[in-house]
Amino acid sequence: MSRGGNDMSVFDVDRHADTPAAYVHVPFCSAVCPYCDFAVVAGADDLAGRYIDAVIAEIQASDRWRPLDAVYFGGGTPSHVDPSLLERVLEALRRRHEFTEGVEISLEANPEDFALDKAERLLSSGFNRVSFGAQSFDDAVLIRLGRRHRASDIGVSIDNARRAGFENISLDLIFGAAVESDSSWAVTLERALALGPNHVSCYALTVEPGTPLHREVKAGADAPDPDTQADRYELAEQLLGEAGLIRYEVSNWSHPGYECRYNLTVWAQGQYEAYGNGAHRFREGVRSHNVRRVDAYIDRMENGSSPVSGREKITGWNEEIDRLFVGMRRAAGVRPGPGVEALLGTPGGNLLLREHIIDVDEGRLVVRRPLLSDEVHRQILDLQPPDGWVEPADPDNL
């Protein structure tokens, strides 16, 4: 198994469309953050054993596939559960699909629960990449975000990971909380870089409907300011770039060769399996997702029912729009095709080109101003097929 990077050129991304990958959702958390709208639970650790049994049953019931080159355990907080449970899932994946010799196996973790003995157990189980939800190095921001760790815990967790033998370490950061200042964000970036991560993700704080943060904002609390968040993003772009990390996607930077392989597969419109409650997959031209509630997922698997609660066949023009929608998140953009021609032929697409929001670089359509990616994606979703376009028949009637 690989302990290092991928040695991938920024313009060598399309090969990941043929890279088999898998996602495993682990929903358990010690507490649910006020901004989180993922399919997670807190205070339900007593369900962990049954849940893992259900995930293994789903893996065993899935069609055998090619050896997996990337596996991603997300959540939730995978590091919150006992490593022996995660080890059982890895073994089930290995038995069902096998792994390539250099498989990248990623795990999301929180700084407060990543002790050295846990890190050693996870590494020996096969995990070789860890992504820490650091979010900030300002304790006031961490408290506002509802995080249970403090800034000092982040360095300890990274040290434990390295002492255990992890050579591929990522940090997630969030910017835009109301209590965060320009200097606070600058210090967060500087302290993150001082720890020498191979990969950094920077996300703008968003107010998702139904979350405690959404209710607070509706009641009068300060919402994240888009202009301030834009400034924070630009500072991240500057400081991370100066430190030698290359932005390869809107929110992700890495040293060359340390791009997240699972994400590269998703953005290349590649195929990936997914297991667990709320998990989304893309196989054989079909995007599907599992039931969201943990109890419902467990019940379905224990009763021998399918956990899938929705599916959509992606063919024809929708497939081309899908290719642009996921691919334009990448710094390398997308190769030419009918969707690119259609976009550049519309008034909106032409305006994006004139304003240097998008550009054609070495034959690929790329986003030059990632802060305006949402506008690019709106234009993509509005595209209509060109005259004479013939949709393929759908023999499955999905």
Query: 73-82 in b/e burial notation, b at 16+ Cβ within 10 A?
Result: bbbbbbbbbe
Q: State the pLDDT at residue 10.
A: 46
pLDDT computed for residue 83 by the predictor: 97
Instruction: Kindly tell me if the per-residue pLDDT of 8 is higher than 50.
Output: no
pLDDT given for residue 5 in this prediction: 41
Any alpha helices (H) in the chain, and if so which ranges?
Answer: 48-61, 83-97, 116-125, 139-144, 151-164, 182-194, 212-218, 226-242, 261-267, 294-302, 316-327, 338-344, 347-354, 373-381
Pairing between β-strand 68-75 and β-strand 99-109 as defined by DSSP bridges: parallel
* Cα gap 168→62, rounded to integer Å: 29
| The two structure tokens encoding residue 4 | 């290092």
Q: What is the pLDDT of residues 238-278, one digit of tens each?
A: 999 999 999 999 999 999 999 999 999 999 999 999 999 99
pTM of the model: 0.94
Which pLDDT band holds residue 395 (cuts at 50, 70, 90)? low
Percent of the chain, pLDDT > 90?
Answer: 92
CA 368, CA 361: separation in Å to the nearest integer? 10
How would you classify residue 184: left for phi > 0, otherwise alpha for psi between -120 and 50, otherwise beta? alpha
3-state helix, strand, coil in the chain (%, to 5): 40, 20, 35
Domain regions of the chain by residue span: 14-267, 316-381
Determine which helix (DSSP H) or strand (DSSP E) holds 73, and give its type and residue range.
Answer: strand 68-75
- Tens-digit pLDDT profile for residues 324-344: 999 999 999 999 999 999 999
Mean of pLDDT values over 302-325: 97
User: What's the whole-number mean pLDDT along residues 271-295?
Assistant: 98
Confidence of residue 398 (pLDDT cuts 50, 70, 90): low
User: What average pLDDT does range 390-396 have in this prediction?
Assistant: 75
The total of other beta-carbon atoms located within 10 Å of residue 335's CB is 13
Q: What is the largest CA-CA distance in the chain?
A: 62
Enter the tokens of residue 61. Answer: 């019931």
CATH match of 14-267 with 3.30.70.980: no
pLDDT surpassing 70 at residue 376: yes
Question: Which pLDDT belongs to residue 388?
Answer: 85
Residue 242: C-alpha distances to residues 170, 231, 238, 253, 371 (Å): 17, 17, 6, 12, 19
pLDDT exceeds 70 at position 197 = yes
Residue 81, pLDDT > 50, answer: yes
Mean of the pLDDT values across residues 152-177?
Answer: 98
In the block, tokens 């943990």 appear at: 294
What is the structure's pLDDT at 352?
A: 97
Confidence of residue 370 (pLDDT cuts 50, 70, 90): very high
pLDDT in tens, 16-47: 999 999 999 999 999 999 999 999 999 999 99
**What is the residue-averaged pLDDT of the chain?**
94
- Which band of pLDDT confidence, cut at 50, 70 and 90, is reported for residue 97? very high
* Predicted local confidence at residue 6, as pLDDT: 42
Q: What mean pLDDT do residues 89-116 have?
A: 97
pLDDT over 90 at 1, yes or no: no
Q: Using one digit for the tens of pLDDT, what is the confidence trace for 120-151?
A: 999 999 999 999 999 999 999 999 999 999 99
Specify the pairing of strand 286-290 against strand 252-254.
Answer: unpaired
